[in-house]
């Protein structure tokens, strides 16, 4: 399987703290994306980082990509209770396929 792996599987923090989630993958990629899934809902795209980028910001989100280590991290700063959700990384492998391969996800719980 080329599925990415996220760690930790679960993370519980207090409101206002930062949350960091990591993703590792196996082969070369075109880009890596992060999605959020609230309980009982579909996934929502958060941010995309291309293979030639090392860092990207969007609001309170910061994503890094290290292609030499085949890993990415998602940092949520100043977390809020509303950030409670599962977070998935998804990779677009360099095979011409348009489909994404999703990781196993990190469940984030932000305590108010």
Is 112 near another protein (CB under 8 A)?
no
CA distance 29 to 61: 21
In angstroms, rounded to a whole number, what is the distance separating the alpha carbons of residues 22 and 42? Answer: 21
Contact track, another protein, 39-78, x by CB under 8 A: --xxxxx--x-x----------------------------
Task: Fill in the per-residue mask, 3 to 42: x = in contact with another protein (CB under 8 A), - = not in contact.
Answer: x--------------------------xx-x-x-----xx
Contact flag: residue 92 with another protein (CB under 8 A) = yes
> Binding of another protein at residue 102 (CB under 8 A)?
yes
CA angle 94, 97, 101 (to 5 degrees): 80
**Which residue from 39, 59, 98, 112 is in contact with another protein, where contact means CB under 8 A?**
98
Say whether 97 sits in a helix, a strand or coil.
Answer: coil
CA distance 60 to 75: 8
């Amino acid at each position: 399987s080329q599925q990415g792996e996220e760690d930790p599987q679960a993370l519980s923090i207090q409101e206002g703290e930062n949350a960091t989630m990591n993703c590792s993958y196996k082969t070369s990629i075109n880009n890596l994306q992060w999605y959020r899934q609230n309980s009982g809902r579909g996934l929502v795209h958060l941010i995309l980082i291309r293979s030639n980028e090392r860092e990207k910001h969007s609001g309170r989100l910061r994503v890094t990509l290290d292609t030499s280590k085949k890993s990415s991290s998602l940092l949520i700063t100043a977390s809020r209770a509303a950030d409670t959700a599962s977070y998935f990384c998804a990779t677009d492998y360099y095979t011409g396929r348009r489909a994404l391969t999703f990781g196993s996800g990190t469940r984030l719980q932000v305590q108010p």
